[in-house]
Structure 1
Amino acid sequence: MGITNILCQALQSRSQDILNAMHLVSTSKVLLQQLRNDGWSDLLENVKLFCLKHEIEIPDMSAQYVLGRGRSRQTNVTMVHHYRIDIFLVVIDSQMKELNLRFNEQTVELLRLSTALDPSNNYKNSTYIDNICRLAKTYY
């Protein structure tokens, strides 16, 4: 949630800088992917430290995960598998899917090219003409 918080705040602000927002989208996607690939160990260590600090019992992560109550609901899944695969990765994949759905390559390109129509920089950007032509060819 910390990764996407800055993006959410930027998208909700009244003064929109489209290029900055698109940069934040790209950065958020990269950071979420890095978290998915390499972040589990750090997260688990932070949770363990938090639990120790607040005297919260830490479950044995190598123990078998029991779904609900009763022995009839036991699975062949460990606690670490359940928390990492069934929760951690599912949440990150959901966030990635949402970002990719809302900000696919075509949408990002359209928003990036539309900044050429912004008169605030007096059209001094060197790629201004190229972007206007590409915008017109591609989307009109």
Structure 2
Amino acid sequence: MGITNVLCQALKQHSQDLLNAMHLVSTTKSLIQKLRDDGWEPLLASVISFCEQHEIDIPDMNACYTKGRGRYHRQDENLTIEHHFRIGIFTVAINFQLQELRSRFCELTTELVILSSGLNPKDAFRLFKIVHICNLVKKYYPQDFTEHEQELLESPLQHYELDVIKHPDFQNMNAISELCRGLKISGKSKIYFLIDRLIRLVLTFPVSISTTERAFSPMKLLKTRLRNRMEDKLLADNMIVYIEKEIAGNFTIEMIMDDFYSMKNRRQA
């Protein structure tokens, strides 16, 4: 918890520095991995010291570990109490944390955020790098830009660096959304249309992530053990209604019944 606390506090901030947050993800993974590899002995020594200070009984760590309780317990001669605590509890708990971090912040997602931060106008475009933006397009948006556009992108970026980044109207912006709006108002979105397209694609990135995360939550509620034979189309239809419940709330049962009734009339005609 001490290792992950710094990352948690950074992610809770309303004004997030995504680049530094991704760096914290990397350092958190490294520190947790180091704890897994080298942290058992110091932890065990600390626990033993605590138990001795408070007169708490300490089990013999080299004794055989007993599985089960009551008359159903049995001893495993090849499994010691230390092995149970170290492998069965300590390592399992850390592996769960690492798996959670890797699933939520995979290497591709981390790289995507780092590369896209080059478009952020915060601090007078401090993170702007032409090579990062070109790599962002080639690696993550190849279907949105033709090969010819990818080859031409570097040239307008050089003009963009001397024009937009140095322009006084763009110096006090703090978000990519403000940059997108400023390019539109100034008319520069037509001149740097490739860059404007990339900015709009990057702006949809948080939406796509939140929609995906929202989809996994209702899936557990809709497709339960009793509904395990639910077909994909029915599951998808139910999930759309659940995820977009604010929109679905605008439709009453009477409106739906009337719609079905009108469909029936059209079929009879």
| TM norm structure 2 | 0.49
* Paired residue secondary structure (2:75): strand
Partners of 1:79 and 1:61 lie apart in 2 by 5
Which runs of 5 or more structure 2 residues have no equivalent in the other structure?
Answer: 142-269
Looking at both structures, which has the greater relative contact order when contacts are Cα pairs under 8 Å and sequence separation is at least 6? 1
Aligned partner of 1:90 in structure 2 is 92
* Paired residue secondary structure (1:122): helix
Aligned partner of 1:60 in structure 2 is 60
Aligned partner of 1:119 in structure 2 is 121
Shift of 1:70: 2.8
Which runs of 5 or more structure 1 residues have no equivalent in the other structure?
Answer: none
Pair 1:41-2:57 in alignment: no
* Paired residue secondary structure (1:112): helix
Partners of 1:101 and 1:59 lie apart in 2 by 37
Partners of 1:68 and 1:83 lie apart in 2 by 15
Shift of 1:45: 0.4
Aligned amino acid, residue 113 of structure 2: L
**Residue deviations 1:77-104 (CA, integer Å, cap 9, x gap):** 2110100000000011111111111111
Aligned partner of 1:108 in structure 2 is 110
Of structures 1 and 2, the larger Rg is shown by 2
**Residue deviations 1:36-75 (CA, integer Å, cap 9, x gap):** 1111000000111111122211111111212232353223
Identical-pair percentage: 55
* Paired residue secondary structure (2:14): coil
Partners of 2:75 and 2:129 lie apart in 1 by 60
Aligned partner of 1:4 in structure 2 is 4
Distance 1:99 1:119, change over 3 A: same
Pair 1:136-2:131 in alignment: no
Aligned partner of 2:178 in structure 1 is none
- 93-102 vs 114-123, greater mean Cα deviation: 114-123
Aligned partner of 2:151 in structure 1 is none
Aligned-residue CA RMSD in angstroms? 1.5
